[in-house]
Each structure stands twice: as C-alpha cells, then as structure tokens.
Structure 1
C-alpha cells in the first residue's frame, strides 16, 4: 500500500463512516470530501496532509481545484480524523453547478461552511462576471461579499448581461463576457478502484 493510498484512506475513513447516513440528504457541498492529487504527505502530529499536483476535492455537487492543498484535521475521541479546513494555492477554482470562482489562494472552512478566495478573484455566474481581490462566501446562507484591493485600480467590478444578451449562449464559452484570466479548472477524473 503506498503512502498516498494510506493517507487518503486514513483521512477519508471518518468521513466515510457517516456516508450511508448522509447519502439520502447530501446536497452540494455536503458529505464526504473526495481528495485526489499527484502526491500527498502526511504530518500526523500537526494534523495536516499536504496534497500537490492537480489537486481535486469533490464534495457533493461542488469541486475545489488547486495546484497545492493543505488539509487540516483533528482527531476524534474514537480514534478517527475529522477534516476541518482546507487551504488551497495556485490557480484555485471553486466550481458549483451555477458558478465558477477563481483566485490565487483559497480557504474552505468545512466546520462553518465558509469559503474565501483572495488574489485576482473572478466570479462567473452564467454570462455575468464579477472581479475583485477577496471573496467571502457563507455557503449555507448564500451570503457573499466581494472586496477590492488597497490599490484604487483593484476595485470590485461586475458586468451583467440582460437575458437578450445571453439568450444565444449555449455554454459559458458562448457568453459575451470579458475574457477570464487563467485556463480554467482541469477536468476531474475519479480515482480508480
């Protein structure tokens, strides 16, 4: 058994124990977190697993993609581990069915169901695009805040299209929106086995 397989099994075990109970009520952003990457390193004394290389986290109907990810966990009294917080760096994408958010760095607080993105943030919702430097989103309530940077050039900017403007768009690529920086998230491939 490789360290990658062992680490993934140890990290996922406490989450998977509750999966059958969650299966009937799991929605977007709920349930076990499925993390895949090219490499992982376990730092058990610090409660940390570091993933690198095309990292994908799938949880319910949402996905987080990054170049590098730190997954912080705490030990349960029963001996298992509980994933609490994820810190992602390098071309970070948070993808839902309705939106894509991109930033240079992201934090996903699984306890409070909050995601934050910083650094050249781009949020797309259909054809509409908003940009800023810091996105704070409470996933359970749907409340979000987008802030600009300290520089006057880093102001929040949003471009909204009417239904007529976006009516012919079949995919986000067909939208008449401004160009979004970055290549976009890589496709997710489920691990074998």
Structure 2
C-alpha cells in the first residue's frame, strides 16, 4: 500500500471536491476551487539527554508507528511554536523533565507513516542539559526510558533513520573527545 500523500488524498481539503489532481512532483490542485495543496515537511524535534557518565537517554515508544522500539524523546513542533520551546514542552510532557540548557546540533529528513499516511519530517536534534535526570516518569506516548552506552545498544532497535543518525553522531562525537 502506498502511503504517499499524492496517492492517499482523494478529496480537496478546502471544498471537498473529488477533482483533486496531481500537480507536479509534490502538490495537488483542485480543479473546482483552485486550491493548491503542497506536500511539505513537518518540523519535529529530538532531545539528546545524557546522565553524568555520558550515557544517552533513549525511550521506548508507547504508540504506533514502531510501538516498543527505541527513540529519542521529542515530537512534532506545534503551530507557532519554536523548536526550542517544543523540546522543553515534549520533555516535560513525556518525562516530567525540566531543561536547564539546550543547544541545536543538526537536522535530518525522515518519513513518519501514521494511519497509512506518510508525513515527511525534518527532525532537529538538540543537546539537552537537564535540571535533573532523577525521578523522571514515562508519560504521554512513551513506555520507558533508559540511559545507554553505545555498546549496550542495538541500532536495529531504532527504526527512524534520522534518530539512528543522531544517536550514531552523538556516540561518534564522544569518541573524538576522549
């Protein structure tokens, strides 16, 4: 089953017409009302939180897609929200974690398939210094969290390519500091 929006969307989101047709490689246009719908990336954030020994926090997903697999804490940026505020909000919602400091690291594209619909994302990674990593509580859409050294980790347990990249880049950067 093809989950690409150009294959899934059949009706105009503005007028409801079935005259919604492909218009180029990444858009649809309604022949009735003229609405032009572009397939763009959604913005998302991922937080790299470490403990005092430099181990990296990964969470266990509690929702589809990839229920039970490893991920970094984070999520989609809300409309009119900055990436930095989204990191703070997501960490508070998912773990009750308060951010002391954060720093943008890098970005990577990803495909997030939900309800048989592909959402293309641009995932932004942030290094996070927490006020404390004690007494955190998994909430919202995560089941658990754990701090990992690289040798404790199986990268096949991280299904999202962008998240796998961020985790690999983190451990690569810590090797250069040693």
Q: TM-score, normalised by structure 2?
A: 0.26
Structure 1 or 2, whichever has the larger Rg, is 2
Q: Which has a greater percent of strand?
A: 1
Q: Which has a greater percent of helix?
A: 2
Q: TM-score, normalised by structure 1?
A: 0.25
